[in-house]
Amino acid sequence: MHTSDPNTRLIGRIERVVRLEYEQKDLTDDTDEDDYYIISNDITVNALGTLKGPGGGRKRPVFTRAVENLPEIGAKCFLLLGEYLTLFTSLVADETAKSKTPLILGTYTMASEAQAILDGNAFFQRHAMVVGSTGSGKSWTAARIIEQVAGLKNSNMVVFDLHGEYAPLSAHPNITRYRIAGPADLDYPKNDVLFLPYWLLGYEDMLALILDRSDENAPNQAMAFSNAVINAKRKTLESENMQKELETFTIDSPVPYSLDDVVAELTRLNEERVLNKATGKENNGPFHGKFNRFLPRLASKRSDRRHGFLFSLKEEQLAVNYLDILVEKLMKANGDQNKGVKIIDFSEVPSDILPIVLSLVARLIFQVQQWSDSTTRHPIAIVCDEAHLYLPNRQAADAAEARALAHFERIAKEGRKYGVSLLIISQRPSELNTTIMSQCNNVVALRLTNQSDKNAVSNLLNFRSLIFQTNP
């Protein structure tokens, strides 16, 4: 589209074409039948950027993703087709390829000779998204990005693989793959198996996992459980002679503790009888019978082998240095002794606790980045595959998903301060949490067939729509 600057063209994408017919007024009897209606074609175009020609220090045309000049009324518009479209897409690719970290996704469908390239550094400096309907190539695109990131110097990425579909990527020399322990891994775990101990869960996350909020005794249960956990953590720190940590720890501090001690204390409170000095008889204690439903529910969770990665722990996972071991595996950047990209297979995690488990890993990464000294902190990207399954809108979230959202929303809003970026991958952007989506500045949008999904992406990108009217 021509603009007021003769050396500048506005580049846009046709959103829709509407053919309208208007009946003319004040027609005479001898008016030809073909003149009864005025026909108009209205074309809606989303402005994408500006193409500047040579001049002003430029030896060749340059495309910028900004709308600097709008077309005047009556300005001429042209379609980019054939070789001209190839030239334009090649120009965009050439500008991106000049970066130090180009990521080649493939070629354009309408211009097969032009490569589609992302600037890897700019792409991960802000939160990003890859969206597309089933079969549009979304997983292939994500795998392509992951594989090329692995080849970059100092790469650092954690991939949440919900279905084990990224397992073939582990053949890459800079990619390692871990599995969350399944029922068959509890007794003799292999080196690629990860346990996520219950003591890494925050207080509210633990309650979301084991507390029934509909129970009339839920407030009493939460209070007593809190006190028991604090005492159990204090006991661990005292036994390890960790005086500095003993003075500053909280209920959310990642300190190992014995769940058996917590259960023993809650059982004591549930059965407690106190002596009434006035009557000389024993009465029920203040928490007597309050845990009749809580304790069996907790026991059921602990005995379920599907939850073994949380509760079936050995001495290694209950040691105070296990957090260091876990962080070493997940967060070390690419180097001589480390692989930069870590894929975590969550396929054996039960779907009802999947949001809690995913948010546990994400929160751990974020908090370690917070605790790290800014001079030694290394940026890290978290790839959230199938994000619509655990990052839904607030209105559609259950208790477990609400807790997960709280952690991911914080990362979306504050993560960049500490070098944590998100890459959200989803086939249903309309179902994603709007707070997290609003922070995604870089979007790779593949084919979307659902109109609500198209609208969600268009609103996110905030296209400037221009309407042109042409006559047939």
pLDDT band for 468, please (50, 70, 90 cuts).
low
Average pLDDT over residues 13-25: 75
Query: pLDDT of 392-441, one tens digit each?
Result: 888 877 777 888 899 999 999 999 999 999 999 999 999 999 999 999 88
The yes-or-no verdict on residue 470 having pLDDT over 60 is no
CA distance 353 to 29: 76
Q: To the nearest whole percent, how much of the chain has pLDDT over 90?
A: 47
Letter for the amino acid at 278? A
The yes-or-no verdict on residue 472 having pLDDT over 50 is no
Average pLDDT over residues 355-362: 94
For residue 37, CA distances in Å to 25, 30, 34, 349, 469 come to 9, 15, 7, 64, 16
Query: pLDDT of 205-221, one tens digit each?
Result: 999 888 888 888 999 99
CA distance 412 to 88: 34
Classify residue 2 by its DSSP letter. B
Query: pLDDT of 370-403, one tens digit each?
Result: 988 888 889 999 999 999 989 988 887 777 788 8
Given this model, what pLDDT does residue 317 score?
Answer: 94
212: which residues sit within 8 A by CB, 6+ positions away? 218, 293, 294, 297
Domains of the chain, CATH where assigned: 8-117 (no CATH), 126-197+319-461 (3.40.50.300), 200-312 (no CATH)
Letter for the amino acid at 380? I
- Average pLDDT value for the chain: 86
Contact 198, 320 (CB under 8 A): no
Average pLDDT over residues 447-451: 87
Q: Which residues pair with 107 in a beta bridge?
A: 115
The yes-or-no verdict on residue 169 having pLDDT over 90 is yes
CA 467 to chain centre: 35
Given this model, what pLDDT does residue 68 score?
Answer: 77
Q: To the nearest whole percent, how much of the chain has pLDDT over 70?
A: 92
Average pLDDT over residues 71-99: 77
CA distance 424 to 123: 12
Q: Would strands 62-64 and 37-52 be described as parallel, antiparallel, or unpaired?
A: antiparallel
